[in-house]
């Protein structure tokens, strides 16, 4: 009798262990499902029979990996620790995904330094804290529920190795179908398991393959004849000869929010006034929707690369606009209201031909934030730098304001109501505009307005939900992310000029040199915009999903590297990028995809030194 009781107790203890192992796996899957529901709540998602498989197959795979580890290790305390770490990571991803449509990735973790603390604090809300709490509560409650399942006389859960193998075999078709389902419906990357998203973003998603083609030359003839505004601008060659140059790289200034580009509101009236003496490009695109790699393209006219870090640009050895002008006798300086520590900017700007480099720490100021100092203090410092040398000594001054960056805080009230982010954003742009006005007044007071060319370009755009889940600037390649203002304000320009053809921020440096009457280095990948050559704009992002894109005349093409999804938009009839025409123009999209993939591989090889 005692032997039988002992055997029964041993079987019960073994059964409890098996229930715990299965319960952990089932509980983890329940936590992942809850997190997915919370992140998708209130959003438009594709209604399809494939939807559950598309959104959950990676989570199912993660749970199978966890269950296999649990079964093999057989150390409950260790596995419970892994469970706790996993659910905590999941919980803190929920508000992030709701804010920017992406779980944590390696580039995002690298970016989350001190300079972003104000932006991160903006998302510490009761709603987000409650969602985190809900996920953590579920993670605690579900294992307890799983232990009660046998008492409720439900089928007993067993998870020995043999059953795990059977579960994997049964799950394999679901995993394959789920992987295929992602190619059939647009999940905007939200199908990804949070841990897998972090791991895959830490490894290259494009192989480095050297190449030397003219990637920006369109493979197709121009669809329509050029307008009057696209006629050659070669007569402007040397118009700004022997002029000073002020390069202003606006922070987060999307073209569509500015009146010269069609906006109803005018957050930057002084910039609008400057267009009366400017060559303005209506369809200009940043090559990367983030400040640091975008700065590489503006200063050095070279393409940054997918899945590379800022530190890798320290040794690429390309010529820069500032180095060219310093060699020509210009005094050169870069002044940033933010901090050079942000995202490794030091690697991009050092050894690039600047005599003077100053950021918020050097400038000091009246108002401080985690991002930097107030714009008037930076402008005063720049004017002081100009005054340090004789008035007849030419200079190249680069100004990088921080106004416009999320969370759109301004030390001074603006003209727009601040009921929502877009109002606060417009006030931040207006604050940047007052700094530009202060700078141009300072130049005029010194008699420098008649011999100083001002170049204004946006580093990237800014999104406010124009497309589902698209907020901020770094995660997508829609027009609100990559289309930027670009203008060359030249004293005594005979008339304002508006140019409608597609151009890239790669073209800024060679155009400046052309207006100054100088030749560009052969290594520049951009072309002077004073020619009438029909070229494409190429762009990419890798903060979350790896996305490649281009603008070719009326056509906008986007390629999701991991899922393989292709999008083609005709912006002349669909400026909001709503209707995907990829299936109707299969030959065109395959040519574009091939061009973008080869360009991305060649750019990566160049940055890594394999040229």
Q: What confidence tens digit (pLDDT) does each residue in 284-303 have?
A: 999 999 988 999 999 999 99
Express as a percent the part of the chain with pLDDT over 90: 53
Distance between CA atoms of residues 426 and 375, nearest Å: 16
- Give the β-pairing of 452-458 and 244-250: parallel
Mean pLDDT of 140-145: 83
pLDDT exceeds cutoff 50 at 17? no
Q: pLDDT value at position 371?
A: 66
**Per-residue pLDDT averaged across 195-213, rounded?**
88
Using alpha carbons, list the distances in angstroms from residue 307 to 218, 260, 511, 541, 605. Answer: 25, 35, 29, 9, 11
Q: 74 Cβ partners below 8 Å, 6+ apart? A: none
**How would you class 390 by CB atoms within 10 Å of its CB: exposed for 0-12, middle for 13-18, buried for 19 or more?**
exposed
Residue 160 neighbours by CB distance under 10 Å: 13
Q: How far apart are CA 90 and CA 279, in angstroms?
A: 49
Q: What is the pTM of this model?
A: 0.90
Backbone angles phi, psi at 312, to 5 degrees: -75, -10
What structural domains does the chain harbor? 2-200 (no CATH), 243-504 (3.40.720.10)
Neighbouring residues of 482: CB distance < 8 A, sequence distance ≥ 6: 285, 286, 289, 460, 461, 539, 549
Residues whose CB falls within 8 Å of the CB of residue 427, separated by 6 or more in sequence, listed in order: 267, 408, 410, 413, 414, 415, 416, 418
Q: What is d(CA 37, CA 94) in angstroms, rounded to the nearest whole number? A: 10
Q: Return the SS3 of 535.
A: strand
Least reliable range by pLDDT among 402-411, 415-424, 472-481: 402-411
Round to whole Å and give the CA distance between 458 and 102: 24
CA dist., res. 209 & res. 221, Å (int): 27
Handedness of CA 583, 589, 590, 591 (dihedral sign): positive
Mean pLDDT calculated for residue range 32-54: 85
Residue 356 has pLDDT above 90, yes or no: yes
Task: Compute how many other C-beta atoms are within 10 angstroms of the C-beta atom of residue 236.
Answer: 20
Least confident range of 54-63, 123-132, 249-258? 123-132
Show the tokens assigned to 537. 């704009």
């Amino acid at each position: 009798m005692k032997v039988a009781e002992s055997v029964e107790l041993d079987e019960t203890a073994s059964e409890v262990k098996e229930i715990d192992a299965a319960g952990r796996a089932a509980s983890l899957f329940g936590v992942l499902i809850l997190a997915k529901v919370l992140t998708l709540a209130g959003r438009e998602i594709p209604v399809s029979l494939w939807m559950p498989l598309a959104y959950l197959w990676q989570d199912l795979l993660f749970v199978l990996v966890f269950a296999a580890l649990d079964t093999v290790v057989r150390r409950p305390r260790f596995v419970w620790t892994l469970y706790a770490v996993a659910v905590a990571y999941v919980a803190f991803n929920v508000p992030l995904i709701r804010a920017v449509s992406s779980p944590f990735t390696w580039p995002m973790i690298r970016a989350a330094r001190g300079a972003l603390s104000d932006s991160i604090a903006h998302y510490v809300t009761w709603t987000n804290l409650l969602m985190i709490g809900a996920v953590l509560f579920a993670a605690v409650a579900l294992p307890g529920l799983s232990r009660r399942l046998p008492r409720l006389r439900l089928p007993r859960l067993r998870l020995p190795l043999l059953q795990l193998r059977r579960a994997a075999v049964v799950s394999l078709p679901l995993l394959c179908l789920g992987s295929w389902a992602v190619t059939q419906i647009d999940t905007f990357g939200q199908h990804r398991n949070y841990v897998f998203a972090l791991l895959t973003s830490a490894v290259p998603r494009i192989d480095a393959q050297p190449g030397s083609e003219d990637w920006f030359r369109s493979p197709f003839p121009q669809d329509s004849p050029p307008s009057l505004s696209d006629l050659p601008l070669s007569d402007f060659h040397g118009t700004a000869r022997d002029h000073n140059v002020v390069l202003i790289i606006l922070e987060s200034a999307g073209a569509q929010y500015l009146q010269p580009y069609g906006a109803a509101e005018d957050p930057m009236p002084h910039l609008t006034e400057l267009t009366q003496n400017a060559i303005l490009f209506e369809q200009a695109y940043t090559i990367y929707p983030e400040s640091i790699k975008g700065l590489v393209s503006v200063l050095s006219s070279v393409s940054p690369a997918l899945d590379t870090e800022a530190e890798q640009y320290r040794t690429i050895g390309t010529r820069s606009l500032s180095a060219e002008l310093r060699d020509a006798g210009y005094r050169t300086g870069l002044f940033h209201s933010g901090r050079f520590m942000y995202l490794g900017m030091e690697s991009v700007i050092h050894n690039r031909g600047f005599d003077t480099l100053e950021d918020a720490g050097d400038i000091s100021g009246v108002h401080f934030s985690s991002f930097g100092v107030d714009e008037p203090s930076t402008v005063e410092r720049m004017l002081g730098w100009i005054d340090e040398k004789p008035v007849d000594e030419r200079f190249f001054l680069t100004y990088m304001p921080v106004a416009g960056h999320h969370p759109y805080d301004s030390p001074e009230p603006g003209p727009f109501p601040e009921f929502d982010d877009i109002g606060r954003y417009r006030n931040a742009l207006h604050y940047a505009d007052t700094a530009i006005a202060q700078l141009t007044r300072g130049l005029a007071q010194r008699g420098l307005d008649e011999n100083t060319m001002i170049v204004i370009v946006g580093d990237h755009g800014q999104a406010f939900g124009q497309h589902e889940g698209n907020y901020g600037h770094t995660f997508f390649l829609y027009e609100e992310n990559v289309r930027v203002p670009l203008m060359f304000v030249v004293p005594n320009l005979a008339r304002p000029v508006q140019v409608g053809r597609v151009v890239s921020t790669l073209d800024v440096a060679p155009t400046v040199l052309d207006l100054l009457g100088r030749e560009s280095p052969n290594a520049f990948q951009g072309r002077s915009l004073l020619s009438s050559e029909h070229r494409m704009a190429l762009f990419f992002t890798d903060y979350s999903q790896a996305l490649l894109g281009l603008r070719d005349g009326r056509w906008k093409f986007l390629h999701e590297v991991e899922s393989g999804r292709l999008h083609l938009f005709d912006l002349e009839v669909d400026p909001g990028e709503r209707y995907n025409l990829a299936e109707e123009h299969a030959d065109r999209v395959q040519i574009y995809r091939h061009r973008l993939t080869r360009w991305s591989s060649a750019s990566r090889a160049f940055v890594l030194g394999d040229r």
